[in-house]
Structure 1
Amino acid sequence: MLSFHSIGAGADAAGAAQYYEDLAREDYYTAGGEPPGKWIGKFAQVLNLGDQQVKKGQLIEAFSGFDPATGKPLARNAGPMHKPGYDLTFSAPKSVSVIWATADQATRNAISAAQQKAVEAAIAHAEKIGAFVQRCGHGGIERIPHGELLAATFEHSSSRNGDVQLHTHAIVPNLAANGKTVDFDARHKMELGAYYRTQLATALREMGFGIERDRASFSVSGVPDVLTREQSTRSQEIAEYLNRLGLDANSKAGAAFKMDTRRTKGEVSRAEIFRRASEAAERHDFDPAAIRSGHPEVKLWNEQHFTAEVFAQASTLTATQLRAAGYVYSQDKDADPEAHIQRLIEAGELVELVDTQTGEARWTSREMLEIERGLGAAAKKLSAMCLEQDGERLAEISQAHKLSAEQASAFAHITASRYAAVQGVAGAGKSRMVGAARELWEAQGRRVIATAIAAKAARGLADGSGIEESSTLDGLLLKLENEAEQLDKNTVIVVDEAGMVGSRKMARLLLAVEQSGAELKLIGDPRQLQPIDAGGAFRTMIAQAGAAQINTVVRQQSERDRQIVADLAVGQTEKALAAMRAAHMIHAHDDAEIARREVAAQTIADLSIGKSAIVMTGTRREAFQVNQTARDMARAAGQITGPDVAFKNAAGDWRHMAQGERV
């Protein structure tokens, strides 16, 4: 894992320098502390510091903008308020730390060497790809890649709680030969972390350890999960504390908290850390030598599998995202991901797309490109298949349903051809318009099916428009492909929240519609909800076949509320928030826990009188916290009854449900 934070000037820089330098000792194993630091990077070579030990006092010199060796100013604003630099922390997977702490000394030394080599490779890679930049132009908007870094690496052995955790701090001072500021471009964080893990995994595999993918990271085969969990109490403690504060562990405030707590860690006794880890290993009958073999299993790179995995959740990727995906995929493989990606490019399996307005380049797969092109072509073809319309009948139904001129126009559009799309903001009365269309379709003897990615959305469309049949899109596709459901020329499928439908699913649905002669109607707003799966199907189909627009908000009763919704829909967030503050629609609390309890209480109060309530949070953690608080309140109010049923979700986390809860 790679985490980073910016080191603040003044006391923060002085404290960081003292922390790293005070822990560093030549006799660290017997006298406590950690190994001495080491200077690395191209700029370290320029300053004649390359591969040298970090000496006491050098870090604060570098943080203040001076040459660590000579004391001469390097930065234009050298002094105590100079921006110090960054701490990039490369943490080995917990299974690696467990082996490192419990193995014999030779193996431990070999793992330490592999860790240092992987970190040095990652810093060299940062120089190669321009992960650090210097800014120029108006407001520093232009980023110029900076390829000469000075970095001080410090290997540390434990967490604040004394759990074994092999990690290396790569301290990158804000220094450059031209005296300008050097900034870390956080867009490259995932790539650097993945590159480091790939380098480390390769070295461990060469030592005879088996490597298994573990989501974006990896683990060493044969290390018991119970042992790694036992050695992770600091992570659990931080998560619990940040939960109470309402902070994200990856946020700047969360990173600052973790850094502050590490500074109070105090003396480190590696011998004691290793002793405790070895005792834990013995309790769980774990012997690191037993899982080491001369010929660990090595998986092969599968180009088709790689592209399918990479573009499962996003239809396009930036260059750094693509490279990061390649490194993640190769962690358990003996492969050169850059070479494989280059072969895919040369074979036309990866395609570069360039935004003609911004010049930004992104990458997609040939399969995804063909799917989306096919969707656009099919939508255009079906939209040209016009249906007979009775103008008087349309006007009669529009009047009966009290449609606005905008809604009536969309009603005429959606009933005019085999394929049609309606794009509109939330609260614009799209369901009312679909209700009018449903009346016309049923009068013509047609069967209407409401569907959406979420069951709630499908039911909402059906209830709001009077459609009798509703189904999730996954359920409908499964029935169609198992021949449990049949479409024909008298079937009309209405997809709500179409912007959430990924390209692959949309292609499967469109194929069934084309083959059966059915009609397809898409409702939604591509600006409002993003696809769950990869692709911009709805946006592509609108671009090729057009869409009727319903943008006048009618759900809100007052003009003020309608304007707020309209402003939010077009990205005028500041304007909308200002209006909401003026109307006392926003309530602020100094304490995150009080805010969560208030949100939970209001949610339960709304549900108790039959209102619907949606809680939106900045992170999944916060959503879980509010849900747990609301569950406790709902159970106390009798809205939830009976025993909890435990289950594990897709992320591997345990959740509980009881009678009366809604999924």
Structure 2
Amino acid sequence: MLSPKAQYNLKNAKQYFREHLRVGDYYAEESVVQGEWFGEGADQIGLEGVVKEADFVALCEGNNPATGDRLTLRRNTTRIAFGKETANRRIFYDFTISPPKSVSIVALCEDERISKIHDNAVRRSMKELEKFAMTRVRKNGRSDDRETGNVVGAMFRHETSRALDPHLHTHCIVMNATFDPVENRWKALQNFEMLKAQKFVENLYYHELAKGLNKVGYAIENNSRDFEIHGMSGELIEKFSKRHQQIDEAVKEHLASGKSVQNVKEFRAQIAHEKRDRKIKESTVETLRAYWGDQMTEEERESLVPKSSSRSGEKLIPDLASIVSWADEHLFERKSVIEDYQLKAAALSRGRGKNFSLEKLNYEIGKRQYLKGERGHKITSKQTLSRELEIVRTAKDGRGKFAPFCETYAPSIASITEEQIAAVTHILNSRDLVTLFRGGAGTGKSFTLKEVERGLRGAGFEVVVLAPQR
């Protein structure tokens, strides 16, 4: 999973480094986390290797840690607006990357190689995310964004949840600064495209992770969200998901009290941030592993041992042409224009864990000669464009050329609304080959279409309902 969160408060940013990023979720002298710098922006400043607090804090304050000079134009983190103190700039963005729970369990209880596989997958993913870095252009009347392709980042790998369950994850801190090569100066980072591309980056991470797992003997089982390691029981995964369960209970309590939630995902993230258990002092890696081992049965411990994936060797040989074709059909079935990274995300999800690189995938996509916009990442295909033009032509040519289905329609049920009656009447009285019908979520579209069906059957027509299956 890849989840982004912005930090607006300078004091909280400094505290976050001292009390979380560099120590993880348990205190012990040996548990200090050695963060590492990443990104072309970090290279340009001269930051490499281990993250030092002084350098991290300098960047949070908007200063160049190498020279002490101001790095970006805006450094005040708060301002007064309408008599109230409000955030004036973002300090950094925390892109947290975590594997499926079964991967965390095996990595931290059995096989240390997996942590390195995770690290490599994170680095590869963040390198790709960096390419979407932009900055705002507000000169000579322009109001635009320009691609810079560089960030100043620091990553910190942690290994437990707040409930002290195995939870391998990496905080990728991206500072609010990027170098604009056109204006030859450092400016604030515009992260809009980075956020739009996060599903692509997430699927790249899953692909690289699964590919690494396959190489060391672990088979995977895909699900609707991500994947799990083959052979691990759902009971064991649930056993080590106490933090998830705590948040579930908090959501239930909130709803049971009669309060509403507009966005459940955002509310869960808010609870995770606000309702944190106090860190358990003096826990060590050894005591935690013993603690985790005591919670497992012998059968569960045996499930952590890799089982050779030789039985699925044929499946790991990629047919990139078929993978890209599937992604193409899947996306262009409902849209005529997509972002190129959406195509890559779908292809990576389809071919997850198979032996191909992003570079090979890009080469296969390039062979398709998609039509591209003048700027940005939007693409379409000649086939899609031709199909869309044919649909428009067919709809136009079919206007007013047919007899109505039923001019004597009368509502069959009392609960139908005036708006729904108007929609049904319009469809049944249409003289066009194509009639479009759409509405917002929860407005009774399905109910209305059932009434259309009743009207058609009442007029003696056979009805066949078709819908996309992907």
Which category describes the TM-score, using the shorter chain as reference length?
A: 0.7 to 0.9
- Matching of residue 53 in structure 1 with residue 53 in structure 2: no
* Structure 1 runs not aligned, ≥5 long: 399-406, 427-451, 471-489, 496-500, 505-532, 535-663
1:571-590 alignment, distance < 5 Å: none
SS in 2 for 1:229: helix
For 1:97, the equivalent position in structure 2 comes to 104
1:291-302 alignment, distance < 5 Å: 291-293=306-308, 295=310, 297=313, 298=316, 300-301=318-319, 302=322
Deviations 1:117-168 (A, max 9, x none): 222212211222x2x2211238995222232211111111111111111000
SS in 2 for 1:134: strand
Decide whether aligned partners of structure 1 residues 457 and 57 sit closer, same or farther in structure 2, where only a CA change above 3 A counts.
same
User: Which 4+ residue blocks in structure 1 deviate beyond 6 angstroms?
Assistant: 410-413, 422-426
Q: Among residues 190, 203, 208, which one is paired with 1:194 in the alignment?
A: 203
Aligned residue pair count = 423
1:318 Cα deviation from its structure 2 partner: 1.5
SS in 2 for 1:290: coil
For 1:220, the equivalent position in structure 2 comes to 229
Decide whether aligned partners of structure 1 residues 91 and 422 sit closer, same or farther in structure 2, where only a CA change above 3 A counts.
closer
Q: Among residues 118, 124, 147, which one is paired with 2:149 in the alignment?
A: 147
Decide whether aligned partners of structure 1 residues 57 and 284 sit closer, same or farther in structure 2, where only a CA change above 3 A counts.
farther
For 2:450, the equivalent position in structure 1 comes to 459
| AA of the residue aligned to 1:94 | K
Separation (CA, whole Å) in 2 of partners of 1:320 and 1:15? 35
1:411 Cα deviation from its structure 2 partner: 6.9
For 2:126, the equivalent position in structure 1 comes to 123
1:380 Cα deviation from its structure 2 partner: 4.8
1:277 Cα deviation from its structure 2 partner: 2.7
Separation (CA, whole Å) in 1 of partners of 2:291 and 2:392? 62
Deviations 1:104-124 (A, max 9, x none): xxx31x222222222221221
State whether residues 36 and 53 of structure 1, in contact with CA within 8 Å, keep that contact through their aligned partners in structure 2.
yes
- Matching of residue 324 in structure 1 with residue 339 in structure 2: no
Deviations 1:293-324 (A, max 9, x none): 37463253333434344456655422222222
1:1-400 alignment, distance < 5 Å: 1-20=1-20, 22-23=22-23, 31=29, 33-50=31-48, 52-78=49-75, 81=78, 83-103=90-110, 107-108=111-112, 110-128=113-131, 130=132, 132-137=133-138, 141-177=143-179, 178-185=185-192, 186-242=195-251, 244=254, 246=261, 248=263, 250-251=265-266, 254-262=268-276, 264-265=278-279, 267=281, 269-287=284-302, 290-293=305-308, 295=310, 297=313, 298=316, 300-301=318-319, 302-303=322-323, 304-311=325-332, 314=335, 316-337=337-358, 339-340=360-361, 342-347=363-368, 351-352=370-371, 354=373, 362-364=378-380, 372-380=388-396, 382-383=398-399, 385=401
Q: Percent identity?
A: 21
Decide whether aligned partners of structure 1 residues 101 and 29 sit closer, same or farther in structure 2, where only a CA change above 3 A counts.
farther
SS in 1 for 2:51: coil
Separation (CA, whole Å) in 2 of partners of 1:361 and 1:153? 27
1:424 Cα deviation from its structure 2 partner: 9.0
Separation (CA, whole Å) in 2 of partners of 1:49 and 1:337? 27
| AA of the residue aligned to 1:133 | M
State whether residues 24 and 34 of structure 1, in contact with CA within 8 Å, keep that contact through their aligned partners in structure 2.
yes
For 1:608, the equivalent position in structure 2 comes to none
1:326 Cα deviation from its structure 2 partner: 2.3
Decide whether aligned partners of structure 1 residues 312 and 59 sit closer, same or farther in structure 2, where only a CA change above 3 A counts.
same
1:181 Cα deviation from its structure 2 partner: 0.8
| AA of the residue aligned to 2:97 | F
SS in 2 for 1:236: helix
Separation (CA, whole Å) in 1 of partners of 2:211 and 2:430? 59
SS in 2 for 1:76: coil
Higher relative contact order (CA 8 A, sep 6+): 2
Decide whether aligned partners of structure 1 residues 208 and 380 sit closer, same or farther in structure 2, where only a CA change above 3 A counts.
same
Separation (CA, whole Å) in 1 of partners of 2:105 and 2:335? 35
Separation (CA, whole Å) in 2 of partners of 1:212 and 1:315? 32
Q: Normalising by structure 1, what TM-score?
A: 0.55
Separation (CA, whole Å) in 2 of partners of 1:422 and 1:93? 42
Separation (CA, whole Å) in 2 of partners of 1:219 and 1:338? 25
Decide whether aligned partners of structure 1 residues 159 and 21 sit closer, same or farther in structure 2, where only a CA change above 3 A counts.
closer
Separation (CA, whole Å) in 2 of partners of 1:345 and 1:155? 35
1:174 Cα deviation from its structure 2 partner: 1.5
State whether residues 24 and 159 of structure 2, in contact with CA within 8 Å, keep that contact through their aligned partners in structure 1.
no
State whether residues 352 and 361 of structure 1, in contact with CA within 8 Å, keep that contact through their aligned partners in structure 2.
no
1:205 Cα deviation from its structure 2 partner: 1.9
1:266 Cα deviation from its structure 2 partner: 5.0
* Structure 2 runs not aligned, ≥5 long: 79-88, 180-184, 410-421
Decide whether aligned partners of structure 1 residues 140 and 266 sit closer, same or farther in structure 2, where only a CA change above 3 A counts.
farther
1:86 Cα deviation from its structure 2 partner: 0.6
1:347 Cα deviation from its structure 2 partner: 3.9
Separation (CA, whole Å) in 1 of partners of 2:439 and 2:268? 36
State whether residues 34 and 156 of structure 1, in contact with CA within 8 Å, keep that contact through their aligned partners in structure 2.
no
SS in 2 for 1:53: coil
CA RMSD of aligned residues (A): 4.1
Separation (CA, whole Å) in 1 of partners of 2:240 and 2:213? 20
SS in 2 for 1:300: coil
Q: Normalising by structure 2, what TM-score?
A: 0.75
Decide whether aligned partners of structure 1 residues 412 and 13 sit closer, same or farther in structure 2, where only a CA change above 3 A counts.
closer
Separation (CA, whole Å) in 1 of partners of 2:58 and 2:43? 17
Separation (CA, whole Å) in 2 of partners of 1:229 and 1:219? 12
| AA of the residue aligned to 1:461 | V
Separation (CA, whole Å) in 1 of partners of 2:354 and 2:68? 46
State whether residues 86 and 174 of structure 1, in contact with CA within 8 Å, keep that contact through their aligned partners in structure 2.
yes
Separation (CA, whole Å) in 2 of partners of 1:92 and 1:184? 23
Decide whether aligned partners of structure 1 residues 37 and 140 sit closer, same or farther in structure 2, where only a CA change above 3 A counts.
farther
Separation (CA, whole Å) in 2 of partners of 1:335 and 1:200? 12
SS in 2 for 1:291: coil
Separation (CA, whole Å) in 2 of partners of 1:388 and 1:157? 66
